[in-house]
A and B are shown apart, each in its own frame.
Chain A
Amino acid sequence: MNFPTLLFHAFALLAVAGAVGTVANLRNTVAAAMSLVLTMVSLAGIYVLLGAHIIAVFQIMVYGGAIVVLFLFAVMLRGDESEPLPRGRMRLVKAASVLVAVCVMAGFARILVGFPEPPAAPTDFGRARTVGIALYSDYVLLVEMVSLVLLAAIVGALVLAKRNTD
């Protein structure tokens, strides 16, 4: 086992641990958000191992920074409360939904065999320059539309979060 593979498994372990910590933490939402940061940063490491450097940078900036900060603000604004375990019929429904999720995972696992060995990446694969050229030549329309989506989201979030003053 070579060094990048070892590194990948370490990052994968951290990512899964963070994801479980996010979902299974019933008492402390702030700790759940911190586990989410662990997952995001580990995924950024995996992106670097896959040669997607600029994606890794954005992953840390947007997910590790902005999105988690937004979550933390929401937790602070509403205060933290612990979540009671489901009772009665709800417990059955929850168990069934876990079963469904595991079946989805198993369905994904069936397609896992026989991927080809990845070809040697070109020297500028995943660098900011090549991704930037692709974004602003072939995908320029997509970039503009995504900026519209962001604008709509900003306005929508402001309208939703604003206190009714009238």
Chain B
Amino acid sequence: MIPIDHVIGLSALLFGIGAIGVLVRRNLIVMLMSIELMLNAANLAFVAFNRVWPGMDSTKALDGQVFVLLVITVAAAEVAVGLGILLALFRNRDSVDPEEASLLKW
């Protein structure tokens, strides 16, 4: 069996890389990809914890995996809407740099 603390360590590492991507990059597409990385890190932690502590009840044994399926669905929805926003921004501003979208900034 693979060591669970290594899995959680990998999850933390992926989350950190994703956070750095969101904070540092100035390309909205890459920022969305980094958000996907962070969601995947959370999914990995869900699956790992589900493996260590499966629920007692037999129908509840897979809670973590059910959550992962929900996160994947919401991630797909988020990407669809995010890229729609990005296309609208690109049409109006001719750039995907979030610094350019400063109309509401005071």
Contact = CB atoms under 8 A, between A and B. Distances in A.
B73 A146 contact: yes
Contacts of B69: 55, 58, 131, 135
A112 to B, nearest CB: 5
B9 A109 contact: yes
A134 B62 contact: yes
Q: How large is the interface on B (under 10, 10 to 19, 20 to 34, 35 or more residues)?
A: 35 or more
Given A8-B6, A19-B37, A105 B13 contact: yes
B20 A97 contact: yes
Contacts of B4: 115-118
B103 interface: no
A141 to B, nearest CB: 12
Contacts of B101: none
A134 B76 CA distance: 22
Interface residues of A, number: 88
Contacts of A117: 1, 4
A50 B48 contact: yes
Given A50-B51, A105-B13, A160 B36 contact: no
A70 B43 CA distance: 20
Interface string A142-160: 1000100110111011111
B84 A161 contact: yes
Contacts of B25: 23, 83
Interface string B7-32: 11111111111111101111101101
Interface of A: 4-5, 8-9, 12, 15-16, 19-20, 22-23, 25, 29, 32-33, 36, 39-40, 43, 46-47, 49-52, 54-55, 58-59, 62-63, 66-67, 70-71, 73-75, 77-78, 81, 83, 86, 94, 97-98, 100-102, 104-105, 108-109, 111-119, 121-122, 125-126, 130-131, 133-135, 137-139, 142, 146, 149-150, 152-154, 156-161, 163
Closest 5 CB pairs of A and B: A160-B84, A153-B77, A97-B23, A108-B12, A105-B16
